[in-house]
Amino acid sequence: MKDQHFLNNIFRAQDFSAEEIDLIFPEFKQVSFTKSDFLLQEGTTENQYWFVESGFVRSFVIDTEGNDISTNFYSTGDIVIDWTSFFLRNPTRENIQALTDCICWQLDFDTFQTLFHNIRSFREQGRTTLVSSYFSLKQQSVSMIADQAKDRYLRLMKEKPHVIQNVSLKHIASFLGITDTSLSRLRKEISEE
């Protein structure tokens, strides 16, 4: 088995030839983060992205009133990227922080560009990944309008149970668009049902 390399889980043999894999893998660099390390800080421009091999990561913004609003959670197999900052080369409003110690695989912008423009399957997959992120965000966004907080919580519980189990209530609450107090009450309601 040649599946030892973590990146085999990201770039699958069915989508990439052996030659392509040989071009791609060496460009990734393994990096570790310690709990609370920032992968990206507000005001800077993101110059790399990561695939998470192990650990938990959170992205968040600070709103005009100074509230911390979680925008996403990432764990094994997920891509950690601020699409906008990375591709538009803009300073970001977003922060990305390790919630636990993490091992990640990092690729920088220039290398990405080379691979993107030279390898068709790489750019197809990149596009698919971006569109999938768009899709999640859209779902989340519609859910904020259409569903009650409780339904959003139940859906998160079903779709990402590892987030519920590993992320503090206050981070989950802001992600769901409510306060930690309300989420605590929702939880109680749910457990009493």
Partner DNA sequence: CATAAAACTTGTCCTATGGCAAGAAAACCT
Partner DNA sequence: AGGTTTTCTTGCCATAGGACAAGTTTTATG
- Does 25 sit near a copy of itself (CB under 8 A)? no
> Which helix H or strand E contains 42, and what residues bound it?
none
The region of 12-20, 50-58, 97-105, 132-140 touching a copy of itself under the rule CB under 8 A is 132-140
Residue 117 tokens read as 């423009």
The strands making up 48-54's β-sheet, listed across from edge to edge, are 29-33, 102-108, 48-54, 79-80
Among residues 24, 5, 13, the alpha carbon closest in space to that of 118 is found at 24
On the 0-12 / 13-18 / 19+ scale of CB atoms within 10 A, 153 is buried
Least distance CB 172 / DNA (angstroms): 8
Residue 16 tokens read as 């990439």
Total residues in contact with DNA, by rule CB under 7 A: 18
- Does 150 sit near DNA (CB under 7 A)? yes
- Does 123 sit near a copy of itself (CB under 8 A)? yes
- Does 132 sit near a copy of itself (CB under 8 A)? yes
- Does 61 sit near a copy of itself (CB under 8 A)? yes
Distance separating alpha carbons of residues 110 and 161, to the nearest angstrom: 36
> Which helix H or strand E contains 141, and what residues bound it?
helix 120-146
Least distance CB 117 / DNA (angstroms): 42
Strands of the chain, DSSP E: 29-33, 38-40, 48-54, 57-62, 68-74, 79-80, 94-98, 102-108
The site string for a copy of itself over 64-93 (x = CB under 8 A, - otherwise) reads xx-x-x-x-----------xx--xx-----
The site string for DNA over 154-193 (x = CB under 7 A, - otherwise) reads --------------xxx------xxxxxxxxxxxx-----
Residues that bind DNA (CB under 7 A): 148-150, 168-170, 177-188
Residues that bind a copy of itself (CB under 8 A): 61, 63-65, 67, 69, 71, 83-84, 87-88, 117, 120, 123, 127-128, 130-135, 137-138, 140-142, 144-147, 174, 177
